[in-house]
Amino acid sequence: MSQAALPQPAPSGPAPWRPRVAHPEADVDLVAAEEAAADLLRALGLPLGTEAMIDTPRRMAHALAEMVTAPPFDFTTFTNAEGYDEMVLVEDIAVRSVCEHHMLPFTGVAHVGYLPGDRVLGLSKLARLVDFYARRPQTQERMTTQVADHLQRHLTPRGVGVIIEAEHTCMSLRGARAHGTRTVTSALRGHLREDPAARAEFLHLTRHSKEAT
């Protein structure tokens, strides 16, 4: 999977830094996707001539295209003028992705935190970053590390922590049919990985969020 392209490091000064985060533009052919969806459904013996399913190939193609297309966004950061050095944590960010092995959804929540360095990130950008990497055929393990590595590289905080909890329909609706199971993955970087106290604080805060619900 291609990594997001970002401009050069932030210029000095008080103005916000707004690099654009985007995947390389994909060549999407919705007409071909609709035809392929129709072929697949026919091959599975489904009756595409009924009133209920006659438009299903088009809807299927558009739905899948939406699920695997990530809109670009501005990775807006600001100078940490106040020298804030405590944890910044956004909890329960919705995760909606597609398993690359079966093209079935997995859904859940992400908890993303960091220890600021010279710059702080607009809070909504943490949710946008999770959605950006989720909108691809994915594995949960890879997505967890991608979010953590992106923040570590392009925000350069003192530490990063990412935890994702999700239910995979490829396991709950088929195969093992393990209903209600949740997969938990984590990625810790910098101070949150190396300092036991900082690591414990991050894990405690994310556990507290789960217990509160």
* Positions marked catalytic: 99-102, 140, 168, 170
Distance CA 80, CA 118 (A): 5
Pick from 3, 133, 143, 164: nearest CA to 69: 133
3-state secondary structure of 164: strand
Nearby residues of 90 by Cβ (< 8 Å), 6 or more positions away: 111, 112, 113, 123, 126, 127
Q: How far is CA 32 from the centre of its chain?
A: 27
The 10 Å Cβ neighbour count of residue 167 is: 18
Which amino acid is residue 71, in one-letter code? Answer: P
Distance between CA atoms of residues 199 and 213, nearest Å: 22
| C-alpha–C-alpha distance, residues 159 and 113, integer Å | 8
Answer left, alpha or beta for residue 63, where phi above 0 means left and psi between -120 and 50 means alpha: alpha
